[in-house]
Amino acid sequence: MSDLLEFGKTVLLAQPFSNLIGAELTAMEEGNAEIVLLVRDELKQQHGFVHGGVISYLADNCLTYAGGSVLGDSVTAEFKINFVRPALGQKLIARSTVLSLGKRQAVCECKVTAVKENKETLVAVAQGTITKLD
Amino acid sequence: MSDLLEFGKTVLLAQPFSNLIGAELTAMEEGNAEIVLLVRDELKQQHGFVHGGVISYLADNCLTYAGGSVLGDSVTAEFKINFVRPALGQKLIARSTVLSLGKRQAVCECKVTAVKENKETLVAVAQGTITKLD
Amino acid sequence: MSDLLEFGKTVLLAQPFSNLIGAELTAMEEGNAEIVLLVRDELKQQHGFVHGGVISYLADNCLTYAGGSVLGDSVTAEFKINFVRPALGQKLIARSTVLSLGKRQAVCECKVTAVKENKETLVAVAQGTITKLD
Amino acid sequence: MSDLLEFGKTVLLAQPFSNLIGAELTAMEEGNAEIVLLVRDELKQQHGFVHGGVISYLADNCLTYAGGSVLGDSVTAEFKINFVRPALGQKLIARSTVLSLGKRQAVCECKVTAVKENKETLVAVAQGTITKLD
């Protein structure tokens, strides 16, 4: 495991909310990050889909990890998310990439997919700004 | 309690993820909604602030309730959120308002504040589109 | 006229594109700005409405003026806009307000209305981040 | 020239504002569109960069063309744009792609680059929703 991924995993474990959700950082390298989440009933809304708040959490966090991979310790300043399909399946995968890197900020994109019986479907796309902590 | 608020509370209780988070719908009337969340350690990130994913959940859900108050059963199609201050305190309050209502969609805004020793501070602002379910 | 408004008008006149569009800064005070644009045919799209690009320009620029009123020389880092009604009428008015002010950035909102026979209708809402130039 | 590109060019020519700006549709195929704009002084702001409103126009319009390539006659419902570099150079190129297609809407992304002495630099990224006209 790379130092960057090991560092990222340590940070994620230090986030009580990420533990409550059950997210796992599965990749982190310069300019990219991937977070996987196994779907369970308590992550759903009233129609049986994964709650939009869970998907927002994944996008927010994965954007920060991609930005953090090039900026160091950083936070999400803002992001925008489009939900494009109801999220159904056994697990969700968020993948984020740095689109542009400045001195203090990185603009990143994130795609969230749902995996159902080995078929992966896009459920949300996000774009946002990650800011380096002073 | 109004019928609308009672209906809204029933829907929120039917969302397993909202129960996991611990959100409470405290107001719902035509064009407005308010959700309150008591802060506890498992909602935080590694620096002791409430996790951005929790704030995103609140904005997402509160936007849907404001939109749903005029559209009926509906979902968040997309939203954008700016995090303006670290979220510290005993509780968070999300308040959402319909800015414009169309036939199938409502555009809504949401402000999220953190209450610390009775002082309320703005921590995030969001804007998004709520779409009526067919 | 206040010094701030006079300064703002000087900056707008120094923007060739704002002259091409024909925008006028009608108010600028700490935390707020207003830009007015008289509608003419060359600002329209193929259906006779004002082009979305014109409305985006207005929102972008008005957000910068509101942010600039408290930050000094600054630029729009990012914004999001929802078009809520087709823009028809004799003039457009953009009004922007600072929602939150940090050291280097301000988060602002903007509402754009169209005035037709003295009736003002909301046509777009925007939210964005203004960043102080170093 | 494909029928789709020819149709797209006809629509762009029917937009007075696109003529005022001077935009040219250079590609349109199912799920993709490209718009090119030659930079001239009247498209700039006070620091000599292309005005953010011009870049917003390009993103907005190119998103609509990508969405329209699969939806037919349609409009931009909303979009979000991050400006990542000052826009300097001889021309701007906007390229947009459909990320997800629904019955009435397409979610699309757009990248805007500036070409200076044959070097292409990313200046803005956008994401938005295109809605089919009824």
**CA D65 from centroid of its chain's CA atoms:** 7
The arithmetic mean of pLDDT across residues A91-115, rounded, is: 98
* Domain coverage including residue B54: 3-132
Q: Provide the domain count of chain B.
A: 1
Strand partners, B107: B100, B129
d(CA B20, CA B31): 26
pLDDT in tens, A10-48: 999 999 999 999 999 999 999 999 999 999 999 999 999
The band of A85, judged by pLDDT with boundaries at 50, 70 and 90, is very high
Quote the pLDDT of residue A1: 81
B50 → chain A, closest CA residue: A17
For D39-103, where are the E strands, in sequence order?
74-83, 91-101
What pLDDT score does B1 carry?
A: 81
| Closest residue to B82, CB basis, from C85, C111, C127 | C127
What ipTM was estimated for this complex?
0.97
CATH number at residue A127: 3.10.129.10
Query: Residues 100-119, chain A: which have Cβ within 8 Å of B?
Result: none
Cβ pair D80, D87 in contact under 8 A: no
| Bridging pattern class, strands C105-116 and C91-101 | antiparallel
Give the integer Cα–Cα distance in Å for A49 and B5. 23
Q: What percent of chain A has pLDDT over 90?
A: 99
Residue B52's pLDDT is 98
Q: Which residues of B65-102 are buried (b: 16+ CB within 10 A; e: fewer)?
A: bbbbbbbeebbbbbbbbbbbeebbbeebbbbbebbbbe
Confidence of residue B50 (pLDDT cuts 50, 70, 90): very high
Q: Is D80 on the interface with C (CB under 8 A)?
A: yes
Structure-token pair, residue B72: 């009926």
Q: What is the pLDDT of residues A45-70, one digit of tens each?
A: 999 999 999 999 999 999 999 999 99
Give the best residue of A79, A85, A113, A127 to mutate against chain D (max D CB count within 10 A): A127
Q: Tell me whether A18 touches chain B (CB under 8 Å).
A: yes
Task: Report how far residue B28's alpha carbon sits from residue B70's, in angstroms, rounded to the nearest whole number.
Answer: 10
pLDDT value of position B134: 80
| Burial class (CB within 10 angstroms; exposed 0-12, middle 13-18, buried 19+) of A134 | exposed
* Mean model confidence pLDDT for chain B: 97
- pTM over 0.90? The answer is yes
Alpha-carbon dihedral B44, B50, B53, B55, rounded to 10 degrees: 150
- D80, D95, D96: best mutation site toward chain A, by most A Cβ within 10 Å? D80
pLDDT block averages, 10 residues each, chain D of length 134:
94 97 98 98 96 98 98 96 97 98 97 97 98 92
CA distance to partner chain D, nearest, from residue C45 (Å): 4
- B122 touching C, CB under 8 A? yes
pLDDT band for position A92 (cuts 50, 70, 90):
very high
Rounded to 5 degrees, what angle do the CA atoms A112, D52, D105 make? 40
Say how many residues make up chain D: 134
C46 reaches B (C-beta below 8 A): no
Residues D126, D134: Cα–Cα separation, whole Å? 25
